[in-house]
Protein backbone atom coordinates (compact mmCIF):
# COMPACT_ATOMS: atom_id res chain seq x y z
CA UNK A 1 0.00 0.00 0.00
CA UNK A 2 1.40 3.40 -0.93
CA UNK A 3 2.71 5.48 1.95
CA UNK A 4 0.34 8.41 1.59
CA UNK A 5 -2.71 6.11 1.66
CA UNK A 6 -1.28 4.38 4.71
CA UNK A 7 -0.81 7.71 6.43
CA UNK A 8 -4.40 8.68 5.67
CA UNK A 9 -5.57 5.31 6.99
CA UNK A 10 -3.67 5.82 10.24
CA UNK A 11 -4.98 9.36 10.72
CA UNK A 12 -8.49 8.17 10.02
CA UNK A 13 -7.93 5.29 12.41
CA UNK A 14 -6.82 7.63 15.18
CA UNK A 15 -9.90 9.83 14.76
CA UNK A 16 -12.25 6.87 14.68
CA UNK A 17 -10.35 5.08 17.45
CA UNK A 18 -10.78 7.98 19.79
CA UNK A 19 -14.50 7.83 19.16
CA UNK A 20 -14.53 4.08 19.87
CA UNK A 21 -12.64 4.75 23.10
CA UNK A 22 -15.21 7.32 24.22
CA UNK A 23 -18.04 4.92 23.47
CA UNK A 24 -16.28 2.14 25.35
CA UNK A 25 -15.49 4.26 28.40
CA UNK A 26 -19.02 3.91 29.62
CA UNK A 27 -18.65 0.15 29.37
CA UNK A 28 -15.24 0.37 31.04
CA UNK A 29 -16.99 1.83 34.05
CA UNK A 30 -20.02 -0.45 34.13
CA UNK A 31 -18.32 -3.67 33.13
CA UNK A 32 -14.67 -2.99 33.84
CA UNK A 33 -15.11 -1.46 37.26
CA UNK A 34 -18.50 -2.71 38.40
CA UNK A 35 -18.53 -6.18 36.86
CA UNK A 36 -22.00 -5.69 35.44
CA UNK A 37 -22.37 -7.72 32.21
CA UNK A 38 -23.84 -4.72 30.44
CA UNK A 39 -24.48 -6.06 26.93
CA UNK A 40 -27.12 -3.40 26.54
CA UNK A 41 -24.66 -0.49 26.67
CA UNK A 42 -24.47 -0.11 22.88
CA UNK A 43 -28.24 -0.30 22.67
CA UNK A 44 -28.57 2.58 25.15
CA UNK A 45 -26.06 4.51 23.06
CA UNK A 46 -28.13 3.96 19.92
CA UNK A 47 -31.18 5.06 21.90
CA UNK A 48 -29.22 8.19 22.75
CA UNK A 49 -28.50 8.69 19.05
CA UNK A 50 -32.20 8.55 18.24
CA UNK A 51 -33.03 10.96 21.05
CA UNK A 52 -30.46 13.31 19.53
CA UNK A 53 -32.15 12.90 16.17
CA UNK A 54 -35.51 13.85 17.67
CA UNK A 55 -34.21 16.90 19.48
CA UNK A 56 -32.16 18.23 16.58
CA UNK A 57 -35.39 18.51 14.64
CA UNK A 58 -36.15 21.47 16.89
CA UNK A 59 -33.06 23.16 15.62
CA UNK A 60 -30.54 22.22 18.30
CA UNK A 61 -26.99 21.32 17.45
CA UNK A 62 -26.32 17.59 17.92
CA UNK A 63 -23.48 18.03 20.40
CA UNK A 64 -25.50 20.42 22.54
CA UNK A 65 -28.33 17.89 22.43
CA UNK A 66 -25.96 15.16 23.52
CA UNK A 67 -24.87 17.17 26.54
CA UNK A 68 -28.47 18.02 27.41
CA UNK A 69 -29.36 14.33 27.30
CA UNK A 70 -26.74 13.44 29.88
CA UNK A 71 -28.77 14.22 33.06
CA UNK A 72 -31.90 12.22 32.08
CA UNK A 73 -29.71 9.32 30.94
CA UNK A 74 -27.84 9.51 34.24
CA UNK A 75 -31.11 8.97 36.08
CA UNK A 76 -32.04 6.19 33.67
CA UNK A 77 -28.74 4.49 34.40
CA UNK A 78 -29.28 4.67 38.13
CA UNK A 79 -32.72 3.13 37.75
CA UNK A 80 -31.43 0.30 35.56
CA UNK A 81 -28.68 -0.52 38.03
CA UNK A 82 -31.06 -0.48 40.95
CA UNK A 83 -33.32 -2.95 39.15
CA UNK A 84 -30.38 -5.15 38.21
CA UNK A 85 -29.10 -5.10 41.77
CA UNK A 86 -32.46 -6.01 43.33
CA UNK A 87 -33.16 -8.72 40.81
CA UNK A 88 -29.76 -10.35 40.42
CA UNK A 89 -26.77 -9.16 42.33
CA UNK A 90 -28.44 -9.31 45.71
CA UNK A 91 -29.46 -12.91 45.19
CA UNK A 92 -25.90 -13.77 44.25
CA UNK A 93 -24.47 -17.05 43.13
CA UNK A 94 -23.43 -18.25 39.71
CA UNK A 95 -27.01 -18.36 38.56
CA UNK A 96 -27.07 -14.59 38.94
CA UNK A 97 -24.26 -14.24 36.43
CA UNK A 98 -26.00 -16.26 33.76
CA UNK A 99 -29.32 -14.61 34.29
CA UNK A 100 -27.77 -11.17 34.54
CA UNK A 101 -26.35 -11.56 31.05
CA UNK A 102 -29.66 -12.84 29.76
CA UNK A 103 -31.43 -9.88 31.36
CA UNK A 104 -29.23 -7.30 29.67
CA UNK A 105 -29.54 -9.12 26.39
CA UNK A 106 -33.29 -9.01 26.71
CA UNK A 107 -33.08 -5.32 27.56
CA UNK A 108 -30.97 -4.62 24.48
CA UNK A 109 -33.49 -6.46 22.37
CA UNK A 110 -36.42 -4.55 23.81
CA UNK A 111 -34.65 -1.24 23.14
CA UNK A 112 -33.79 -2.26 19.58
CA UNK A 113 -37.29 -3.38 18.71
CA UNK A 114 -38.73 -0.34 20.46
CA UNK A 115 -36.66 1.83 18.14
CA UNK A 116 -37.86 -0.12 15.11
CA UNK A 117 -41.46 0.25 16.19
CA UNK A 118 -40.99 3.94 16.91
CA UNK A 119 -38.81 5.00 14.02
CA UNK A 120 -38.92 2.19 11.48
CA UNK A 121 -35.91 0.42 10.00
CA UNK A 122 -34.88 3.42 7.90
CA UNK A 123 -31.58 5.19 8.47
CA UNK A 124 -31.66 8.51 10.29
CA UNK A 125 -29.18 11.33 10.01
CA UNK A 126 -28.64 14.75 11.49
CA UNK A 127 -27.56 17.91 9.71
CA UNK A 128 -25.00 20.37 11.02
CA UNK A 129 -22.53 22.85 9.61
CA UNK A 130 -19.63 20.50 10.13
CA UNK A 131 -21.32 17.49 8.55
CA UNK A 132 -20.55 17.27 4.85
CA UNK A 133 -17.46 19.46 4.75
CA UNK A 134 -13.86 18.42 5.03
CA UNK A 135 -10.51 19.82 5.97
CA UNK A 136 -7.86 19.83 3.24
CA UNK A 137 -4.29 19.15 4.26
CA UNK A 138 -2.09 18.76 1.21
CA UNK A 139 -3.57 15.94 -0.80
CA UNK A 140 -5.63 14.66 2.13
CA UNK A 141 -9.24 15.46 2.81
CA UNK A 142 -10.44 14.80 6.36
CA UNK A 143 -14.19 14.99 6.86
CA UNK A 144 -15.01 17.49 9.60
CA UNK A 145 -17.53 15.20 11.25
CA UNK A 146 -14.70 12.89 12.28
CA UNK A 147 -12.64 15.78 13.63
CA UNK A 148 -15.58 17.04 15.67
CA UNK A 149 -16.30 13.58 17.06
CA UNK A 150 -12.62 13.19 17.86
CA UNK A 151 -12.53 16.48 19.72
CA UNK A 152 -15.64 15.88 21.78
CA UNK A 153 -14.52 12.32 22.52
CA UNK A 154 -11.19 13.58 23.89
CA UNK A 155 -12.90 16.14 26.09
CA UNK A 156 -15.36 13.54 27.37
CA UNK A 157 -12.64 11.05 28.19
CA UNK A 158 -10.45 13.59 29.91
CA UNK A 159 -13.40 14.74 31.99
CA UNK A 160 -14.21 11.19 33.03
CA UNK A 161 -10.64 10.32 33.88
CA UNK A 162 -10.23 13.49 35.95
CA UNK A 163 -13.48 12.78 37.74
CA UNK A 164 -12.43 9.26 38.65
CA UNK A 165 -9.04 10.26 39.94
CA UNK A 166 -9.64 13.67 41.49
CA UNK A 167 -13.11 13.74 43.04
CA UNK A 168 -14.25 11.96 46.15
CA UNK A 169 -17.05 9.95 44.50
CA UNK A 170 -14.75 9.16 41.59
CA UNK A 171 -12.20 7.63 43.85
CA UNK A 172 -14.91 5.84 45.78
CA UNK A 173 -15.98 4.23 42.50
CA UNK A 174 -12.47 2.99 41.87
CA UNK A 175 -12.30 1.78 45.45
CA UNK A 176 -15.48 -0.20 45.19
CA UNK A 177 -14.05 -1.93 42.17
CA UNK A 178 -10.87 -2.83 43.97
CA UNK A 179 -12.12 -3.94 47.34
CA UNK A 180 -15.78 -3.74 48.17
CA UNK A 181 -15.72 -5.15 51.72
CA UNK A 182 -12.99 -2.71 52.68
CA UNK A 183 -15.08 0.16 51.43
CA UNK A 184 -18.04 -1.03 53.40
CA UNK A 185 -15.88 -1.18 56.51
CA UNK A 186 -14.93 2.44 55.90
CA UNK A 187 -18.57 3.44 56.12
CA UNK A 188 -19.43 4.06 52.49
CA UNK A 189 -22.44 2.36 50.91
CA UNK A 190 -21.14 0.38 47.94
CA UNK A 191 -24.55 -0.04 46.39
CA UNK A 192 -25.16 3.72 46.27
CA UNK A 193 -21.72 4.26 44.78
CA UNK A 194 -22.20 1.58 42.15
CA UNK A 195 -25.55 3.08 41.29
CA UNK A 196 -23.93 6.49 40.85
CA UNK A 197 -21.20 4.99 38.66
CA UNK A 198 -23.68 3.20 36.47
CA UNK A 199 -25.53 6.47 36.06
CA UNK A 200 -22.35 8.17 34.90
CA UNK A 201 -21.64 5.34 32.48
CA UNK A 202 -25.10 5.76 31.00
CA UNK A 203 -24.70 9.54 30.73
CA UNK A 204 -21.48 8.96 28.81
CA UNK A 205 -23.45 6.63 26.55
CA UNK A 206 -25.88 9.46 25.80
CA UNK A 207 -23.17 11.80 24.54
CA UNK A 208 -21.56 8.92 22.64
CA UNK A 209 -24.89 8.40 20.94
CA UNK A 210 -24.88 12.00 19.76
CA UNK A 211 -21.39 11.49 18.35
CA UNK A 212 -22.55 8.28 16.70
CA UNK A 213 -25.22 10.02 14.68
CA UNK A 214 -22.83 12.82 13.77
CA UNK A 215 -20.35 10.36 12.32
CA UNK A 216 -22.88 8.60 10.18
CA UNK A 217 -26.50 7.54 9.78
CA UNK A 218 -27.96 5.25 12.44
CA UNK A 219 -30.46 2.44 12.26
CA UNK A 220 -31.92 0.35 15.09
CA UNK A 221 -29.74 -2.72 14.58
CA UNK A 222 -26.51 -0.74 14.94
CA UNK A 223 -26.01 -1.81 18.56
CA UNK A 224 -25.06 -5.31 17.44
CA UNK A 225 -21.96 -4.08 15.61
CA UNK A 226 -20.94 -2.01 18.62
CA UNK A 227 -21.25 -4.87 21.11
CA UNK A 228 -18.20 -6.31 19.40
CA UNK A 229 -16.30 -3.06 19.24
CA UNK A 230 -16.92 -1.92 22.81
CA UNK A 231 -16.21 -5.27 24.45
CA UNK A 232 -13.17 -5.65 22.27
CA UNK A 233 -11.82 -2.32 23.49
CA UNK A 234 -12.67 -2.94 27.13
CA UNK A 235 -11.11 -6.41 27.17
CA UNK A 236 -8.01 -5.30 25.27
CA UNK A 237 -7.61 -2.41 27.68
CA UNK A 238 -7.82 -4.56 30.74
CA UNK A 239 -10.84 -4.28 32.96
CA UNK A 240 -11.09 -1.02 34.81
CA UNK A 241 -8.29 0.88 33.13
CA UNK A 242 -9.36 4.17 31.60
CA UNK A 243 -6.07 5.01 29.94
CA UNK A 244 -6.06 1.47 28.65
CA UNK A 245 -9.45 2.11 27.06
CA UNK A 246 -8.03 5.05 25.12
CA UNK A 247 -5.06 3.02 23.93
CA UNK A 248 -7.20 0.04 23.02
CA UNK A 249 -9.67 2.26 21.18
CA UNK A 250 -6.87 3.69 19.08
CA UNK A 251 -5.52 0.22 18.34
CA UNK A 252 -8.94 -0.92 17.20
CA UNK A 253 -9.53 2.19 15.11
CA UNK A 254 -6.21 1.98 13.34
CA UNK A 255 -6.46 -1.78 12.67
CA UNK A 256 -9.95 -1.40 11.26
CA UNK A 257 -8.85 1.46 9.05
CA UNK A 258 -5.87 -0.39 7.67
CA UNK A 259 -7.85 -3.57 7.04
CA UNK A 260 -10.46 -1.48 5.25
CA UNK A 261 -7.85 0.07 2.98
CA UNK A 262 -5.93 -3.07 2.27
CA UNK A 263 -8.46 -5.88 2.22
CA UNK A 264 -11.73 -4.18 1.56
CA UNK A 265 -14.84 -3.21 3.39
CA UNK A 266 -16.18 -6.74 3.74
CA UNK A 267 -13.47 -7.78 6.19
CA UNK A 268 -13.69 -4.77 8.47
CA UNK A 269 -16.50 -6.08 10.75
CA UNK A 270 -14.36 -9.07 11.68
CA UNK A 271 -11.48 -6.91 12.91
CA UNK A 272 -12.95 -5.98 16.27
CA UNK A 273 -14.11 -9.50 17.05
CA UNK A 274 -10.94 -11.09 15.73
CA UNK A 275 -8.91 -8.78 17.96
CA UNK A 276 -11.14 -9.73 20.88
CA UNK A 277 -10.59 -13.45 20.37
CA UNK A 278 -6.84 -12.97 20.07
CA UNK A 279 -6.70 -10.97 23.29
CA UNK A 280 -8.89 -13.47 25.14
CA UNK A 281 -6.76 -16.30 23.88
CA UNK A 282 -3.32 -14.89 24.65
CA UNK A 283 -3.61 -12.16 27.26
CA UNK A 284 -7.05 -12.17 28.86
CA UNK A 285 -6.09 -9.56 31.42
CA UNK A 286 -5.58 -7.05 28.63
CA UNK A 287 -2.87 -4.45 28.27
CA UNK A 288 -3.25 -2.59 31.52
CA UNK A 289 -5.45 -4.98 33.45
CA UNK A 290 -5.70 -5.31 37.16
Partner 1 sequence: MRFWIAAGFALALAAAATVMLKNEYYFFAGYTVLMFVVLATAWNILGGYAGYVNFGTPAFFGLGAYSAAVLFKATAAPLALQLLLAATMSGLLGFAAGMLTLRLRGIFFAIATIALTVIMETLFINWRYAGGATGLQLLRPPPTVPFESYIKMLFVLMALLAVAAVAIARYIERSWIGRGLRAIRDSEEAAECSGVPTLRLKLFACTVSGALMGAAGATMPMYLSFIEPASTFNLNYAIGALASPMIGGTASYLGPVIGAILLSTIQQVVTVTISGEMNVMIVGVMLVVFVVAAPEGILGLFRKFVSSRKP
Partner 2 sequence: MNLIKLLATAFGALVISCAAVAQQPIKIGMSQPQTGSLGAAGKAELVAIRMWVDDVNAKGGLLGRKVEFIVYDDQTNPALTPGIYTKLLDVDKVDLLFAPYGTVPTAPIMPLVKQRGLLLMGNFSFQVNHTVKHDMWFNNLPAADAQSWFTGFFEQGQKSGAKSIAFLAADQEFAQNLANGAKELAQKAGLKTVYSQNYPPTTTDFSSLIRAIRAAKPDMVFVCSYPNDSVAIVRAVNEIGVGESVKLFGGGMVGLQFTPVMESLGSMLNGIVNYNSYVPGVKYAGIDEFFQRYQKKAAEEKVDPLGFYLPPFGYAMGQMLEQAVNATKSLDQKKLAAYLHSNTMQTIVGPISYNKDGEWSQSRMLMIQFRGIADKNLEQWRQVGKQVVLYPPAYKTGDAVMPFDKARGK
Residues that bind partner 1 (CB under 8 A): 31, 37, 39, 87-88, 94-95, 97-99, 101-103, 105-107, 109-110, 112-114, 116-117, 224, 227-228, 231, 235, 266-267, 269-270, 273-274, 276-277, 280-281, 284
To the nearest whole angstrom, how small is the minimum distance from the Cβ of residue 261 to partner 2? 6
Q: Report helix angle 268-282 to 222-237, nearest 10.
A: 30
Q: Which residues bind partner 2 (CB under 8 A)?
A: 2, 4-5, 8-9, 12, 120-123, 132-134, 141, 143, 146, 215-217, 257, 260-261, 264-266, 269
To the nearest whole angstrom, how small is the minimum distance from the Cβ of residue 46 to partner 2? 13
Choose the one of partner 1, partner 2, none that binds residue 235, judging by a C-beta under 5 to 8 angstroms depending on kind: partner 1
Q: Which residues contact 194 (CB under 8 A, 6 or more apart)?
A: 34, 81, 85, 173, 176
Choose the one of partner 1, partner 2, none that binds residue 253, judging by a C-beta under 5 to 8 angstroms depending on kind: none
Determine the Cα–Cα distance for residues 159 and 29; give it in Å rounded to an integer.
Answer: 14
To the nearest whole angstrom, how small is the minimum distance from the Cβ of residue 42 to partner 1? 12
Determine the Cα–Cα distance for residues 147 and 265; give it in Å rounded to an integer.
Answer: 22
Choose the one of partner 2, partner 1, none that binds residue 12, judging by a C-beta under 5 to 8 angstroms depending on kind: partner 2
Residue burial 26-60, b: 16+ Cβ < 10 Å; e: rest: bbbbbbbbbbbbbbbbbbbbbbbbbbbbebbeeee
Toward partner 2, which CB reaches closer, 106 or 216?
216
User: How many Cβ atoms sit within 10 Å of the Cβ of residue 10?
Assistant: 17
Determine the Cα–Cα distance for residues 174 and 191; give it in Å rounded to an integer.
Answer: 13
Choose the one of partner 2, partner 1, none that binds residue 123, judging by a C-beta under 5 to 8 angstroms depending on kind: partner 2
Q: How far is CA 2 from the centre of its chain?
A: 33
Amino acid sequence: MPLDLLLEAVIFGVLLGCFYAAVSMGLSVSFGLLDVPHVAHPAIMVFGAYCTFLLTRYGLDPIVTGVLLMPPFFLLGMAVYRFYYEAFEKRGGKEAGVRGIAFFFGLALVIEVGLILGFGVDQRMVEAAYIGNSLSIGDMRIPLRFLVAFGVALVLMSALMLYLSKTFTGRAIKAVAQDEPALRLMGANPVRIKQWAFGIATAVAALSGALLIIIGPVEPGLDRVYIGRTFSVVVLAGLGSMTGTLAAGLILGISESIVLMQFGASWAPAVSFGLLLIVLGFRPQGLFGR
